[in-house]
Amino acid sequence: MVKINDNYNKLAGSYLFSTIAQKVNAYTSAHPDTNIIRLGIGDVTRPLPQAVTDALHAAVDEMADEKTFRGYAPDRGYGFLRRAVCENDYRQRGCDIDEDEIFISDGAKPDSGNIQEIFSADASVAVCDPVYPVYVDSNVMAGRRISYLACTAENGFVPQIPDEAYDIIYLCSPNNPTGTALTRDELQKWVDYAAQNSSVIIFDAAYEAYIREDDVPHSIYECSGARECAIELHSFSKNAGFTGLRLGYTVVPKDLVREGVSLNSLWARRHATKYNGAPYIVQRAGEAVYSPEGKKQVAALVDYYMDNACYILSGLTKAGYKAFGGVNSPYVWMAVPDGMTSWEFFDRLIEEAGVVGTPGSGFGACGEGYFRLTAFGSRENTREAVDRIVRMGA
C-alpha cells in the first residue's frame, strides 16, 4: 500500500484562511440578515488599473491573431517584463540586480511555498512568530525543524538576531501580519548575520508598495552583502490588484552560492521543470504596471488602501485599543481586550459588530491576544466596520 507523506499529519487541520471562511459561512447561513463586513483575508477589492486592463485587452487580441499568437512563455518570464522589473524595482533604487536573476511566476505565495525545495531536508529554518502561515506549512510538509523568533510589543515586533546559526531565515517586511516594518539598519543586521553564518534569507517584499518612511528599505538588496545571502519575493497582488490574475517574481542573485552551487541555477532548474510560466496576457498586464499611467494608477490604489489603514488605526486608537502597523502597511495589528483570546474576540466581533478579522493566534503562539484587520476593503465598508467597532467599545 502506498504511504502518504506523513509530514502532512503534523499540519493544522486546515489553512488559516480556509478555517475563517468556513466559520464565516456558517455564521452567515445561521444569520442571513446580518450585513457582514470582511476585513479578514488580505484580498483586494478595487478593480484593476485602467493601464492594466488596456494591456490585457491588447494582449488578448494578439493571442487571437495567428501572426502574434504566443504559446509557452520563456522559462524565466518574458524579457519585456523582466526588463521593466529590473529597471524600476532595482536599478532606479540603486540595487545591483540583473534581468537573468529575476524569475517571473504566478505569485509570491506559491514562490514562498516552493522555494524551500532547493534546500536540504535537514536545513534548519527560523521564522518570525507571528508569521505568514505558508512559510511554516511548506517547511512542515518537507519535514523540516522550525524555530520561532518571537516578535512582541516589547521588541516592537522586530525579530531579534539569535545566538544560534539557522540555515534559512524568512523575513517579511512590511510585515504580514503585524503591519510593522524593518528599518534599513535592522535589516542590515540580518544580512550581516546571514553572511557570518552562511545562512540564506528569504525576504518577502509583497507589501513594499505601502512603505511611506524613508528609513524602511524597499528591497533587501539595498543592504550591503545581500547579493551573497538573500532571495527576494515580490507580488503584483497587493500593489496592482492582481490577486485574481496571479503574477509575481522571485530574485535569486548569481552571487548566492552554497556548497559551490549557484542557487540561481537550482531555482532555474526547478522553475523550468515544474512551472510553465505566467500567461502572456498577464505578463503584458504586469509590464503595464510600470508604464507612466500604470505607475500613477497603482499609486492611487495604494493611497486608497492606505487611507483605509489610517482610518482603522486612528479609529481603534480612539476607541481605546492598542494598535500597531498601518503606517507602512495595509495591515493593522491590535491587542484584544484583556482576558480574551484572539478567537474569542473573532466571535465577539462578528456577533456584536458584524465584522470579520483574523485572529492573531492563527499566525503563531505570539499572535495570541492580537487581531489583524486589513485595509483592503472598500472605503465605505472600512469606515462602517471601524465605526461599528468603536461603538462596540473596547
Strand, helix or coil at 143?
Answer: coil
Name the one range near ligand MLT by CB under 6 A: 20-28, 39-47, 142-150, 298-306: 39-47
* Set of cell numbers at residue 250: 522571485
Cβ 104 to ligand MLT, closest distance in Å? Answer: 18
Minimum Å distance from CB 108 to ligand MLT? 7
CA 263/CA 198 separation, integer angstroms: 13
When asked if residue 330 is in the footprint of ligand MLT (CB under 6 A), the reply is: no
Pairing of strands 370-374, 331-335: antiparallel
Minimum distance between the CB of residue 248 and ligand MLT, rounded to whole angstroms? 10
Q: 3-state DSSP call for residue 355?
A: strand
The residue among 242 and 280 lying less far from ligand MLT, judged by its C-beta, is 242
- Which residue pairs, CB below 8 angstroms and at least 24 apart, start in 117-123? 117/142, 117/270, 118/263, 118/266, 118/267, 118/270, 119/167, 119/168, 119/200, 123/167, 123/168
Minimum distance from residue 377 beta carbon to ligand MLT (Å): 12
CB crowding 213-247: b at 16 or more within 10 Å, else e = eeebbbbbbbbeebbbbbbbbbbbbbbbbbbebbb
Pairing state of beta strands 370-374 and 358-359?
Answer: antiparallel
109: number of CA atoms within 13 Å, CB side?
15
Number of Cβ atoms within 10 Å of the Cβ of 122: 9
Shortest Å, Cβ 147 to ligand MLT: 22
Q: Name the residue nearer to ligand MLT (CB basis): 43 or 228.
A: 43
Nearer to ligand MLT by Cβ, of 86 and 373: the residue is 373
If DSSP codes are grouped into helix, strand and coil, which group holds residue 37? Answer: strand
User: Shortest distance, CB of residue 41 to ligand MLT, whole angstroms?
Assistant: 4
User: Helix 379-392 to helix 342-353 angle, to the nearest 10 degrees?
Assistant: 100
Of 44 and 149, nearer to ligand MLT (C-beta) is: 44
Under the binding rule (CB under 6 A), the answer on residue 109 touching ligand MLT is yes
Reported residue count of the chain is 394
Nearer to ligand MLT, 193 or 304 (CB): 304
Q: In a 3-state reduction of DSSP, which class is residue 382?
A: helix
The yes or no reply on residue 38 touching ligand MLT (CB under 6 A) is no
Cis amide linkage into residue 292, ω under 30° from 0:
no
Which among 38-46, 207-215, 271-279, 301-309 is the span making contact with ligand MLT, rule CB under 6 A? 38-46
Among 20, 42, 251, 346, binds ligand MLT (CB under 6 A): 42
The residue among 40 and 253 lying less far from ligand MLT, judged by its C-beta, is 40
Alpha-carbon distance values, 49 to 52, 106, 219, 286, 320 (Å): 5, 19, 24, 11, 37
Per-residue contact string for residues 118-157; x = within reach of ligand MLT by CB under 6 A:
----------------------------------------
Q: For cell 512559510, what's the residue?
A: 135
Does the protein bind ligand MLT through residue 41 (CB under 6 A)? yes
Size of the site for ligand MLT (CB under 6 A): 5
Q: Looking at 43, 192, 222, 307, which residue binds ligand MLT (CB under 6 A)?
A: 43
Tell the smallest beta-carbon distance from residue 339 to ligand MLT (Å).
Answer: 26
Of residues 170 through 229, those in contact with ligand MLT by CB under 6 A are: 176
Does position 24 bind ligand MLT by CB under 6 A? no
Q: Which residue is nearest to ligand MLT (CB)?
A: 42
Task: Give the strand pairing for 125-129 and 168-172.
Answer: parallel
Of 1-9, 41-49, 150-158, 190-198: span binding ligand MLT (CB under 6 A): 41-49
Q: Which residues in this chain contact ligand MLT in the complex, by CB under 6 A?
A: 41-43, 109, 176
